Amino acid sequence: MTALKLAVVGAGPSAFYTVSRILSSLPAASARDVQVHMYDRVPAPHGLVRYGVAPDHPEVKNCINKFDQTAQDPRFSFFGNVLVDPTSTSSDQYPNAVPLPLTSLFPHYTHLLFAQGASQPLLLPMLPQAVAALSLVHWYTGHPAAPSTPPIPIDTIQHLTLIGHGNVSLDIARLLLRAPASLEQYNDLPRPVLHHLEKSTVKHVTIVGRRAPAQVSFTAKELRELMSLPDVSFEPIDSALLNTARTDDRLDRPKKRILDILSTGSKAKFGSTDKAWSLRFLRSPLEWHPGKKQLKLGQNSLTAHGQAEATGDEELFGTDSVVVSVGYRSEPSPGLKAWFDQTTGRIRNSNGRVMDSFGRVVQNVYASGWAATGARGVIAASMHSAYMTADNLLADLQAPVAEAVLSPLATDPLCGVPSPLHAAMGQVAGYDDWRTRAL
């Protein structure tokens, strides 16, 4: 039985839900017995709730109230603007953050939690000139690493193509298509972003996916929202494609409801509005030349297992700009090497317990959220992952996992924070600093 001094990498929902579960489960433990230090490479806490959730979805951000409660706990400290386990890429991206090697944490903590999410967008090698959707998301959420101007010239282009049938594509389409006046009510939308959106010339967004209507990753809420915009219409989907999708007897209720929404289409009749959007199915991008404004698409068919298979047929598709949104993986920083699975792009784990490359649990090292499960699911999914990890950490405090690999962390940890931070404390941001001044 040992006391707990936990370092947390990342300050998004999975970090906060794990920590809130741990602290609320140990109400009697004092700050002498239990301490949590949460690190994030940006100055402000809350991760994707702040820099991922669309600014016109403020109700999704209500979970911050719970995070604020956790942050009030005297056993909790937040250290923003600290880049744990830097890479050359992340050091370039966060030049103002204090670099902190992962190994420097080990003597100061008994436990380590990886909750840094999945920040690296998957790219398509055949589209080197396409823009990553993440840069647009960073732009419209006011992320500190984002440029001040939109990463695609929305004030000159008419037609935008998004690659990937997920919620990020729907968020981008919605923000570009809905009337800018309807966005004014959202305080989380940076005003410079709103001013750029007011000058947007985008009239049509096409979202391309390699598979069919029953294989989409976006969710009903985001789809219904886009279908309900008063002055935006949806190009009807070929009914044969929808009928084929419906014949799949493995469809669950969520998929059936999505097919119903797709079939009903938009409230506004296609062609009756100034702005519109379309979904294209069974297409994979092959080539994109911005100068020619032409995207080459390869046609696919669907295998019996629901996978895309190229038919060999190709087509040219006219568009002004191409943005790729096909998923994310965690960043394989050097300190993670023994625990990172290059194939899946996440930290190897068993129900939140980090494992080495031989599949052995590493004592006192944990992961939760997208860093552990891969980048799928909404905040509720990260919450469940976080609670599972927290419950396992708490169980391991009572009875450690048998046959676990010895922890690299301390059993009798040093006081305070790792020494590289001492000289740089002026650069480190506290939990509430973002409220009191622009960071």
Give yes or no for residue 146 binding another protein (CB under 8 A): no
Amino acid at 401: V
Q: How many CB atoms lie within 10 A of CB 108?
A: 19
Residues 376-435 interacting with another protein (rule: CB under 8 A): 378-381, 383-385, 387-388, 392, 394, 397-398, 401-402, 412-417, 425-431, 433
How is residue 321 written in tokens?
């700009």
To another protein, the closest distance from the beta carbon of 75 in angstroms equals 9
Give yes or no for residue 185 binding another protein (CB under 8 A): no
How is residue 72 written in tokens?
């009030």
Could you tell me which residues come within 8 angstroms of residue 421 by beta carbon, excluding any fewer than 6 positions away? 79, 82, 98, 100, 428
Q: According to the annotation, is 378 in a ligand binding site? A: yes
DSSP, residue by residue, 97-123: SEEE-GGGTGGG-SEEEE-----EE--
DSSP, residue by residue, 228-276: H-TTEEEPPPPHHHHHHHHT-TT--HHHHHHHHHHHH--SBPTTSSSEE
x/- contact string, 71-90, with another protein (CB under 8 A)?
Answer: ---x--x-xxx---------
**Which CB sits closer to another protein, 123 or 395?**
395
**Cα(99)–Cα(86) distance, integer angstroms:** 6
x/- contact string, 94-113, with another protein (CB under 8 A)?
Answer: --x-----------------
**Which CB sits closer to another protein, 78 or 277?**
78
**Cα(125)–Cα(134) distance, integer angstroms:** 16
**Cα(263)–Cα(98) distance, integer angstroms:** 51
To another protein, the closest distance from the beta carbon of 96 in angstroms equals 6
Q: According to the annotation, is 167 in a ligand binding site? A: yes
To another protein, the closest distance from the beta carbon of 301 in angstroms equals 28
Q: According to the annotation, is 377 in a ligand binding site? A: yes
Collapsing DSSP to helix, strand or coil, 419 comes out as: helix
**Which CB sits closer to another protein, 355 or 375?**
355
Residues 244-273 interacting with another protein (rule: CB under 8 A): 253-254, 257
How is residue 206 written in tokens?
């096409």
Give yes or no for residue 34 binding another protein (CB under 8 A): yes
- Measured at the CA of 246, the angle between CA 244 and CA 248, to 5 degrees, comes to 85
To another protein, the closest distance from the beta carbon of 249 in angstroms equals 18
Residues 206-245 interacting with another protein (rule: CB under 8 A): 219-221, 224
| Residue from the set 5, 41, 210, 275 that interacts with another protein by CB under 8 A | 5
Give yes or no for residue 437 binding another protein (CB under 8 A): yes
**Cα(9)–Cα(117) distance, integer angstroms:** 9
The pair phi, psi for residue 230, each rounded to 5°, is -65, -35
How is residue 153 written in tokens?
């010239």
**Cα(68)–Cα(156) distance, integer angstroms:** 42
Give yes or no for residue 29 binding another protein (CB under 8 A): yes
Q: According to the annotation, is 379 in a ligand binding site? A: yes
Q: According to the annotation, is 81 in a ligand binding site? A: no
Amino acid at 334: P
| Residue from the set 214, 373, 375, 409 that interacts with another protein by CB under 8 A | 373
**Which CB sits closer to another protein, 249 or 403?**
403
To another protein, the closest distance from the beta carbon of 205 in angstroms equals 21
Give yes or no for residue 47 binding another protein (CB under 8 A): no
Question: How many residues in the shown chain lie near another protein by CB under 8 A?
Answer: 86
Stretch that binds another protein, among 125-133, 197-205, 315-323, 371-379 (CB under 8 A): 371-379
Give yes or no for residue 69 binding another protein (CB under 8 A): yes
C-alpha 103: how far from its chain's center? 26
**Which CB sits closer to another protein, 288 or 340?**
340
Collapsing DSSP to helix, strand or coil, 397 comes out as: helix
Collapsing DSSP to helix, strand or coil, 33 comes out as: coil
**Which CB sits closer to another protein, 250 or 253?**
253
Give yes or no for residue 439 binding another protein (CB under 8 A): yes
Q: How far apart are the first and last CA of the chain?
A: 41
Q: Annotated binding site for FAD: which residue ranges?
A: 14, 48, 84, 370, 377-379
Q: Annotated binding site: which residue ranges?
A: 14, 48, 84, 165-168, 210-211, 222, 370, 377-379
